[in-house]
Structure formats: structure tokens, C-alpha cells
Amino acid sequence: MISPMEVRKLGIEGVIEFTPPVHRDRRGLFCSAFQRQTFARTLGKPLFPVGQVSHNISRRGTLRGIHYTATPPGMAKYVYCPRGRVQDFVVDLRVGSPTFGTSESVTLDEDSNRALFLPVGIGHAFLSTSDDSMVLYVLSGDYVAGNELAVDALDPALGLPVPQGYDHIRSDRDLVAPTLAEAGERGLLPEYAACREAEARLWQ
């Protein structure tokens, strides 16, 4: 029988943290980073139908994000770090959301195997604080490059507590990503109502 997970609702509406028990012995460890019954009991519905499972591996100091998907179609995610350690950031980019512009920071690592559920319209970023950190994503849809957008993770207005003392290795796309205000002015941010509608369609 799988042991129960710890569940915590973060300060961003709809974002949930799941921390599983980790069983260790002389061979290593075992954990179940997703548990269907706990997820369904917490959200009142099962995990979205899975469209894709992806992962990346990042050098120490790599800063990825803030990434999000245009809505429609939108994308929900279940994210965790089975190897290494990252400082993870989630940002509410949904215009009209009661928590719009709010951010949260959580450590995801191979010791805790903590996971996050991110509803449609939530931006995601992380800084890898160890070499070869792996972040795994369970996604509600297919990755389509033209639908993937970014906001600057170092936007002073957001004030993400990105750890200092790292090189902040970033992609070309992330280096030129707009600030939150610029993205809003360009009409690039998703509307809260559209995100809720897109999320409801995931289970249809």
C-alpha cells in the first residue's frame, strides 16, 4: 500500500504542492511522485488526460523560464525533479485572476521528490542549483513551439527570489523575453476566464 502524500495549497489559486513519502534502504530510494487517489481527492477530479511527458537536464546555474502556453489551447502541468536540485518558481499570468502577478518559490529535488500541479495559465521557471538536474513534466497537451511564450524571470517588478552566485545560463529566447508589463501591453498574457474554460475542456 502506498503511503499518503503531504498536500499543500500554494498562494496562487489552483497551484498545489504534493510531497510523497520517500522510502530509503541500502539500495537507494523509492517514491511515488504522483498518486491518483490523493490528486483526485485534492482537486475533486483525476489528473488531466496526458498528452506528453517531457524532461530536461540542466547545468548548475541554468535559469529556464518563465514559460507558459498561449491560451487557447493552454497547458496544465505536473512537474517534479527526480534528480538534482532546482529552485522552482510559479507565477500567475492569468489576467483577471484573483492572484494575478503573484509568485511562489519551492525547492524541488531528488531528496523530497516534491511535485507541483500547475493549472492552465500559470508561468513556470527554475534555477538549477546542482549539475545535471532533471525536471520532468507531465503535460496535458502536445508541445507546439508556436504556442510557447515567455516572460523575463529577472523582471524587477516580479521580484522572483532567484538565488545569486550563479552564472544564470539562459536561452536566447529567455534573454529577450518581455517583462510582465510588456507582455500585457502586447496582449500576450492569457485571460483568466479563457484559462478556466481551457482547463475544463481537458477532461471532456
pTM (2 decimals)?
A: 0.95
What's the pLDDT tens digit per position in 155-183? 999 999 999 999 999 999 999 999 999 99
> How far apart are the two ends of the chain, measured CA to CA in Å?
31
Write down the catalytic residue from 55, 137, 166, 168.
Answer: 137
- Report the DSSP beta bridge partners of residue 107: 87
17-42 pLDDT, tens digit per residue, is 999 999 999 999 999 999 999 999 99
63 pLDDT higher than 80: yes
Cβ–Cβ contacts within 10 Å for residue 56, how many? 13
User: What integer pLDDT is reported at residue 4 of this predicted model?
Assistant: 84
| 137: annotated active-site residue | yes
Q: Which listed residue (67, 68, 78, 192) is catalytic?
A: 67
Q: Mean pLDDT, to the nearest integer, of 33-53?
A: 96
pLDDT per residue over 106-153, tens digit each? 999 999 999 999 999 999 999 999 999 999 999 999 999 999 999 999
Residues whose CB falls within 8 Å of the CB of residue 165, separated by 6 or more in sequence, listed in order: none
Please say whether the dihedral angle defined by the alpha carbons of residues 65, 139, 15 and 116, taken in this order, is positive or negative. Answer: negative
Q: Torsion angle, CA of 133/4/123/86, rounded to 10 degrees?
A: -20
